[in-house]
Amino acid sequence: MQVPWARVRFARHLTGNAEPPQSCHVCLRRRRNGGFGEDLSLALRRALAVQLEELQGWRPEVKRSEAELELHVMLGLDGRILLEVPLLVQRIGLLGGLQQPGMKQVEAWAVAKSLDIQPGDVVLDPMCGKGTLLAEAAIWWPEGRYIGCDTDALQLESCRENHRHLRVEVETHLADASFEDGLPIPSCSVDKLMTAPPWDRQFQAAGGVEQLYPKMLREFQRVLRPHGRLAFLLNLPALEAIRPWLGNWTTQQCRFSMTRHTVGVLLLAQQGDGETLICDSWRNKDLRLLRGLWTKQRADERPWLRPANERVKKKRTAVGG
């Protein structure tokens, strides 16, 4: 089989991959009703990697994220082999998918979006669970500094696994926000705080939400800067339980259909004089349509595709520099 590698190199150059690749990762991809057997896949990948190193000088790279060029090999139903070389890619995570799924990413995006995260902001999720809120925020607004805390070590490990997969920087701590000074964070040091606190459904709150919410809010208020902003993802019973403890805060909310039987609430709170915390297009949207609006806005705001080897070049420059 003859492969027009000169055309591949030219196409890479046209799409911003100007430097010749030094490493290559071979991936065997399956069609729905066909593909390579498990006993053949590893041996074929190794053989192709060795041949590419001999013919092109591309060093075999086991980790896909470390390779400057990817070669996808697909077996068609008619027995033909299709070779695919991605030239432009989207930043990992923007299209969805976590190693350890938690809440839905669309809701997580909306919570992070509502905070208006700015470069340099310190953003905390004090009850982060598997870290979906932090993951979405760090993917879309990478110039913030992200911190996650939780009382469950297993949940924190899932959180770390998700963030390693997405290659985002998140600082994590085993900590309990229901105690005074329970968060290992200095007072008045957090710009934005977002969380989905227990609702006494999937995750139980010790003593019930009536005891938990006032305790956690005192700790949130301690770490938050003056005029810092809070974002909560709640259901209606949780909203009623938390509302009495936000009397000195300016609050705004929007509601949406989380499931067929659950109304979700995105609640924003900020100390001080009121301002528009949630845009009118969200507050005035029918709850059956708001989640669809978020899905569309999230898709519309995806950045342009970028050269496939840009990530590896940046990492190599950082290590060398």
Identify the three-state secondary structure at position 294. Answer: helix
Q: Chain centroid to CA 258: how far?
A: 19
**Residue-level pLDDT at 11:** 76
Domains and CATH numbers, the chain: 5-89 (3.30.2300), 105-300 (3.40.50.150)
Residue 172, CA distances (Å) to 78, 163, 169 in order = 50, 10, 10
pLDDT, one tens digit per residue, over 231-279 is 999 999 999 999 999 988 999 999 999 888 889 999 999 987 666 777 7
Spatial distance between the Cα atoms of 7 and 12, rounded to a whole number of angstroms: 8
In the chain, which stretches have pLDDT less than 50?
Answer: 202-203, 315-321
Residue 226, CA distances (Å) to 98, 186, 238, 247, 250 in order = 34, 13, 25, 16, 13
pLDDT, one tens digit per residue, over 179-209 is 999 999 999 999 999 999 988 654 455 567 8
**Residue-level pLDDT at 6:** 77
- Whose CA is closest to 267, among 214, 217, 231? 231
**Residue-level pLDDT at 7:** 76
Spatial distance between the Cα atoms of 141 and 155, rounded to a whole number of angstroms: 23
User: What tokens appear for 137 in the block?
Assistant: 């925020």
Spatial distance between the Cα atoms of 106 and 203, rounded to a whole number of angstroms: 21
Spatial distance between the Cα atoms of 203 and 205, rounded to a whole number of angstroms: 7
**Residue-level pLDDT at 37:** 56
Q: Is the whole-model pTM more than 0.75?
A: no
